[in-house]
Structure 1
Amino acid sequence: MIKVIMDSTCGMTVEDFEKAGMVMVPLYVREGETLYRDGVDIKPAEFYKKEREGVIFESAQTNPDDLVRIFRPIVEAGDEIVCVMISGAISGSVNAGRVAAQTLEAEDRISIVDSRQSGYCQLTMGRLAKSMADEGKSRAQIVEALTELRDRTWVYFIMESLHWLYKGGRLTGAQALIGTIIQLKPIVWFDDLGRMVTHNKIRTIKAGKERLKELVLEMASYGVVSAGLHWADNWDEAKEFGDWMESVLHVPVEYNRVSCVVGCHVGPTVLGPVVVMKEKPKAKNRVD
């Protein structure tokens, strides 16, 4: 049997994991000296309330020992593992998973898959892995399918301020200061290497949303399999944008609340449309 594991940044709740028959790896956020397990000790509603009140959180990866404790009983039961993790370019969790597999001397039974993204993108990969595992597909077949799915799943995020990218270590202080002075609204995405990079800098949120719509239509030109929308503490705004997405994509939009860990980097007002496309687009690293 193959067990499917994902970390908490995929946007599923503890209850969602239980219903889906998958295993959750909670990552961490830190408030001062207090360490919380993402989605377990602190939920998005409380997290974003505190963030709006000015509380500064830092994200923290899981460590190999955590993963050894999760992996060990599965391996000892004779099962295999496919573990889909947040992008290894912005978190050390992928590497922690590989170290855990080495520690257990079970690298031939554990596949650590770098989603090179997070949220809905990661979630669709986990669901596909679970479906294929239930069908009796091999671990190698699952990993190959996940890699192909990853390459045709894109996401863009718009944020109200460069403040969050700076606090999350994605910008220098000088870049953030200049951007704040001229009130730039960043649109970011995950590039081919899974790095969270700036795609556009827009002067107003209104203009930023119009640019997001252009990017959604660009993704849709490759055919639409499914679509999602990331949101944080801005449901009304997300619902309005999601309704527009459904009107042009002609598929249901699944709303994915941004996890506390990712929220450290994007803030409470983020919007992030994602499209799973029928074809793999070209030139992903193109930036306007």
Structure 2
Amino acid sequence: MKLNLTVPNNHRVTTLLQTWQDNVGAKEIGEISAIADRLGFGRLTVGEHFAIPQSHVAASGAHYLHATTALAYLAGHTERIRVAANVSLVPLQNPVVQAKQWATLDWLSGGRADLIVGVGWLKEEFDILGVDFGARGRIVDEYVEAMREIWSRDVASYEGRFVRFAGVAAEPKPLQPGGVPLWFAGDVPATLRRVAMWGVGWSPYLTPLEKIGEGIDRIRSDPAYRGQPIEVFYNLANLRLSQGHVGKDHDHDFDTWNVQQLVDQICGVRSVGVTEVAPPLPKLRSYQHYLERLHWLAGEVMPRIG
């Protein structure tokens, strides 16, 4: 089981926000990345939104990073740890540009990029960017196919409803064989189909923990399944959220400074098929308290879940 880390102050979802994060800027994020790298965390993640409509600011906040830009900064402070957006809103950016962004990130990071594909849920954000919200699933499918073509061919061509190009040469290519590994986030059958067809992993959001095993079985039984191992990443902060970043009425946090309780929770999600987890974040006093938390996780929890 790998422990992943969501970078503090990469978003300001109200339910998850802690006041000390207001003082976390570029310098601190760089320091956190280097420490997480040394301590053995598996992946650094940031969220991604491009434009939050005013009506959603109360729940979602307006502070979000551009994923590949931020991840390049994180990669520059690290040597080993992988980097990913959780999630990257693929239908909201041109796929030729995205293919270039992710290939560049993978090339500069030494092959450490993961693309966790999100279809998107915030219709007003699609409206702002002039993208058909109702067609977003079909757009994602074409964009993924188009990016894979660019990554895998010296001269790429693609003909679809939403994207078409011919005779495109684009380098550098991703360093990882087959291109940047694709994960797919979400809970609907189409997400599981995409994992079967193209993915190496699944990142569920609202799927109940007891249903994750069923999701893995659906991936493996899909006619498009290629026989690949299926990794599953679960952010335990999801237990505190419902659709649209709305907080749940009850608090799923417990005393997460209790080693055995946290180990039991992580081992519980491992038993249903989860292979990577972002641990819950208790209420902390300060940035320094957060750094203590990272060392505590590495020293007390990682050895018990490895």
Quickly name the TM-score band, shorter chain normalised.
0.3 to 0.5
Greater helix content: 2
For normalisation by structure 1, the TM-score amounts to: 0.34
Higher RCO structure (Cα 8 Å, ≥6 apart): 1
Greater strand content: 1
